[in-house]
Chain A
Amino acid sequence: MMMKLTVEAEQLLEEPATSKAVPEKNGADVFIETLKKHQVEVVFGYPGGAVLPIYDALHKNPIKHILARHEQGAIHAAEGYARVSGKVGVVIATSGPGATNVVTGIADAMMDSIPLVVFTGQVATTVIGTDAFQEADIIGITQPITKHNYQVKDVADFPRIMNEAFHIASTGRPGPVVVDIPKNIATGIFTPREGETEAVNLPGYQPTTTPNFLQIQKAAQAISTAKQPLILAGAGVLFANASEQLKELAEKYQIPITNTLLGLGSIEGTHPLFLGMAGMHGTYTANMAIQTCDLLINIGARFDDRLTGNLNYFAPNAKVIHIDIDPAEIGKNVPTEIPIVADAKEALEALLHQNAPNGNTAAWLESLKVNQEQYPLHYDASGDRGLLPQQVLELVQEYTNGEAVVTTDVGQHQMWTAQYYKFRKPHNWVTSGGLGTMGFGFPAAIGAQIAKPDAKVVSIVGDAGFQMTLQELSLLQEMRIPVKVIILNNQALGMVRQWQETFHGERYSHSLIPVQPDFIKLAAAYDIKGYRIETYEEAKVQLKEALESDEPVLIDCRVVQKESVLPMVVPGTALHEMIGVKPE
């Protein structure tokens, strides 16, 4: 006999089994969805307790995750990825120690304007502030070294905050944004707020990208009347993808170009109008051009002290045009006659559009050519001094035809690379400029290779810096990433040693490292092929072989310890007071 059902029970039975048309989503699902919406293909990270829900959501998902062996490796890899791909680098770290381990990378990205969104786990909102297990105040810690940062306090805010984070990181002057995700936000059920749209609404953040017309007119006028104009091109040119326009402007008006360290690659290193890098270890010609030019056109550079030398004597005769997307950079260090707040590409296009008459710079170019011929970069390869780092770099340049992606740390090897590697294309140069981070170059190379799988990626590192992040050899092994690690091994903190020699009476206080690991055996431990190179003759043969390989390779170049980076602008002196310009 059938039971008599109440009306309510009948209705319940009639309801389809999937009465909830929209399945419940938690914070971690929203996280994945939003990453996809921003076309994030790869994230760099390291799991831990506070981000377990996020990792659980990643598990079911096609977004590629690169498991570095230390969070610092993850974030430098993301920086390398961002730098060569032009996309936002995404990092995930857990709370507490995971988050503090990415701090160096965040500061590095801030100084070099690299677009990153860093997600850090956090303890649950219910215990924030109680010194809970693996709790650290990452918002407080990262506030001075981020473009902006957020802590998600309500799951409903999560998509909006993520959208804003990607927007802020990638627009205007790029930079790192931290999003701190308490564990209960990742597990909390997401209910969208009523009436909330996808559009980013940030009234306090409106970067100016279009230049002021009157200032462009003034700049065009100044360019066509200058007798000795000079372009200083920084990383802003690269961020704006304005290399073509830069070249066009330089060629049209016959203006020589110099680069900042981070601006290298914005013009081909072999271009006849290119004078080499300027600054502390720049070329004599570039620095003298700055000191004698009558018009200095700064495009996307921030007049760092390593570039300007003593500011009191910097570019004494020059009228300054400064194009920068960040208004706070204009006039910060160097007084500017013609400020142009704009995206470098838009500004250059507007300038070209002006079609101002051509000035006559022939005599100026001629005098620079004389300098280039008389004072080229030089090193002493006489006698039997052993393998010189400059020789290694010239060979790398030759064997890769200037087309490799090159990454470095900070220090002597970095400066030699900047001096001797002639980049043919933009976005191939990845280095820690502003913060000067040892240990940056190797993981950055991994990120760069992931961004450009077909490119030849060479990581030039010092023996000391390499030992700060060499655990990422594990990634080369695991993923067979064909990065070529070239160690310029001088058994020292090279630049520290050089400064101690020059400024501290040759007292080498803790800068020499006579006992090094056997890097070849180390590579072997990771199943990576290793070469040890001790002479120039060996270098010519083995470096070629190593660079031609399709596999990851580690090359330990035993270079002369007592070799200094020259020429040099000693801190506190002016650019025209360079030392070591001519061979002694």
Chain B
Amino acid sequence: MKRIITVTVINQSGVLNRVTGLLMKRQFNIESITVGHTEQPQISKMTFVVNVEDEQKLEQLLKQLQKQVDVLKVNDITEKSIVVRELALVKVVSPPSVRAEINSLVEPFRASTIDTGKNVVTFQVTGNPEKIDAFIELVKPYGIKELTRTGVTAFVRETQKAANTPYLSILQ
């Protein structure tokens, strides 16, 4: 089962390595990982998407992360009401003849054009991973020259829904 886990850490060199090394040692497969500063410069936050077999493995993962000296807080936010965002850059083959067509297609995704060449256009799209998947599917027929995704970053919403109503359909 896919889980979204946030880890608040002290911002020191080697911490990311320590955390990913721990996951590797314990045979957890990371689907994506993002890291950056929080509102406090000495504290960073990581967001993982990991695939774990069962509840027991998940508990072990959370406990092992919590054990790290540089880790301040570990949260499995999968079941909570959360905001999740990912960014993708997609370079699409786009000769002048179809450019208008592509532009009209990507417009509902609120993707923005951030670079243009003679025959290619680079789009930037942000949103939850599902939306990005859909965007990629949409432009695939035109030919994708290059694609890069950041992985998700997330935190819990201010207002929480009632318990047991999973929010994220991608995690089913």
Contact = CB atoms under 8 A, between A and B. Distances in A.
A7 interface: no
B69 A204 contact: yes
A203 B72 contact: yes
Contacts of B21: 143-144
Interface in B35-86: 56, 59-60, 63-64, 66-72
Interface residues of A, number: 17
Nearest to A207: B67
A373 B25 CA distance: 45
A306 interface: no
Interface residues of B, number: 20
B141 interface: no
A327 interface: yes
Contact of B69 (A168, A328, A331): A168
Given A143-B17, A204-B10, A331 B60 contact: yes
B108 interface: no
Nearest to B70: A204
Given A139-B14, A143-B18, A143-B21, A328 B64 contact: yes
B67 A326 contact: yes
A140 interface: yes
Among A139, A327, A328, the most chain B Cβ lie within 10 Å of the Cβ of A328
A521 interface: no
Interface in B83-136: none
Contacts of A148: 69
Contacts of B67: 326-328
Contacts, number: 37
A140 B14 CA distance: 9
Contacts of A328: 60, 63-64, 66-67
Contacts of B71: 204
Contact of B60 (A140, A202, A332): A332
A9 to B, nearest CB: 49
Contacts of B66: 327-328
A143 B22 CA distance: 9
B66 to A, nearest CB: 8
A205 B72 CA distance: 8
A139 B66 CA distance: 20
Contact of A205 (B22, B56, B63, B69): B69
A140 B17 contact: yes
A204 B9 CA distance: 8
B156 to A, nearest CB: 21
Contacts of B9: 204
Given A148-B69, A204-B69, A204-B70, 10 more contacts: A139-B14, A143-B14, A143-B18, A204-B71, A327-B67, A328-B63, A331-B56, A331-B59, A332-B60, A335-B56
Interface of B: 9-10, 14, 17-18, 21-22, 25, 56, 59-60, 63-64, 66-72
Interface of A: 139-140, 143-144, 147-148, 168, 202-205, 326-328, 331-332, 335
